[in-house]
Amino acid sequence: MAERVSWVPDGVDTGKPSAARLYDYLLGGGHNFAADRALAEMFLRAQPHARTVARLNRAFLRRAVLFMVQQGIRQFLDLGSGIPTVGNVHEIARKADPESRVVYVDFEEVAVAHSQLILEGDPLATIIQEDMTKPEAVLEAARESGLLDFTRPVGVLTVGVFHFVPAEADPRSILAAYRDAVPEGSYLAFSQFTPDFDADEMAAVVEVMKKSQNPIHPRTKGEIEGLFAGFELVEPGIVPSPLWRPEGTNTDDPDEAAIYAAVGRKV
C-alpha cells in the first residue's frame, strides 16, 4: 500500500521510487518512502559504498558554491536541486554573504513541496517546478522569479543530475542553452556518475536504476569534457569528487567516488 504523509502532495504515487528520494535516503534524510528504501537497498548491494558516494557528491556541492562565492558570485541557479537536506545552496552561500540569491529547480513533486516549506517567507530564494532538460521553460521561470539578474554572473549548478539525461536528449545542447543565458564570468558546477572507476559496478547500478522513474546514463571523462564547451575548466579539472579542491587532510578514497566533478568558468 502506498504511504500517505501530510507533506506529500496530492497525486504523488509513493509506490514508485524516485532518484531524488533515493538520494535523500542515502544521505540520511527522512523524505522517502518504502519503495525508495527498497530500491536503495538494491542500490547498496550493487554499490556497497553508495552512502559514501552520496556524501562525497554533497561535499563537492558545498566546496563548489564556496569557490564561486570567493569569485564574487552572489546568485545561483541550482538545476535538479532535489529534496532539501542540511547544507543547501542558500545556507552555504549566505554564510559568506547574507544577500546571496538562489533559484532552485526540480520536477519531482516531493522535492518541490518540501522546498516550498523550507523557503516559505524567504525573499531571496525560491523553488520552481520545471524540467531542467527544457532550458527555455526553466530560464523563463527563473527570470519571472525576479531573483536572478542575467546581466551579472550566475553560478549554475548541475550536481549529481546529468547522469539522468540520456544521450538522445542532447545534454550538450541543454548545457549550451544555460551557458548562453548567462554572461561571461559565470560558472558551471557539474558532477555525475562515470564508468571509469569501476565499470562492472556502474553497470550493476545502471540495472538497478532501470527499476526507478529515473534511469541513469554514466559518462566517461572524455564525454564530460565535451559538455564544458564554452567554459574554461578551473583547476584541478575533471577529477573524482573528493579530489576537487579538498579541504584540509583528505582521507577519502577517490576510487570509491564513482562520480567525476568539475567547475568551469564561462569565457
> What is d(CA 252, CA 112) in angstroms, rounded to the nearest whole number?
32
Confidence at residue 123, expressed as pLDDT on a 0 to 100 scale: 96
pTM for this model (two decimals): 0.92
Residue extents of the structural domains in the chain:
19-266
> CB of 89 within 8 A of CB of 76?
yes
Q: According to the CATH classification, is domain 19-266 in 3.30.70.330?
A: no
For the record, the C-alpha cell of 259 comes out as: 562520480
Q: Phi and psi at residue 116, in whole multiples of 5°? A: -60, -40
pLDDT of residue 222: 98
Torsion angle (degrees, nearest 10) of CA 194, 54, 164, 245: -60
Q: Which triple of cell numbers denotes residue 128?
A: 520552481
Cell of 5: 504523509
**Residue ranges in the chain whose pLDDT is less than 50:** 1-2, 4
Following CA atoms 254, 52, 36, 109 in sequence, which dihedral angle do they give, to the nearest 10 degrees? -80
Sign (positive/negative) of CA torsion 179, 266, 67, 261? positive
Cell of 36: 525508495
Three-state secondary-structure class, residue 169? helix
Reported as a single tens digit per residue, the pLDDT across 172-227 is 999 999 999 999 999 999 999 999 999 999 999 999 999 888 999 999 999 999 99
Which residues contact residue 139 at a Cβ distance below 8 angstroms, ignoring those fewer than 6 apart? 177, 178, 181
Grid coordinates of 100: 546571496
pLDDT at 1: 41
100-127 burial string, b = 16+ CB within 10 Å, else e? bbbbbbbbbbbbbbbbbebbeeeebbbb
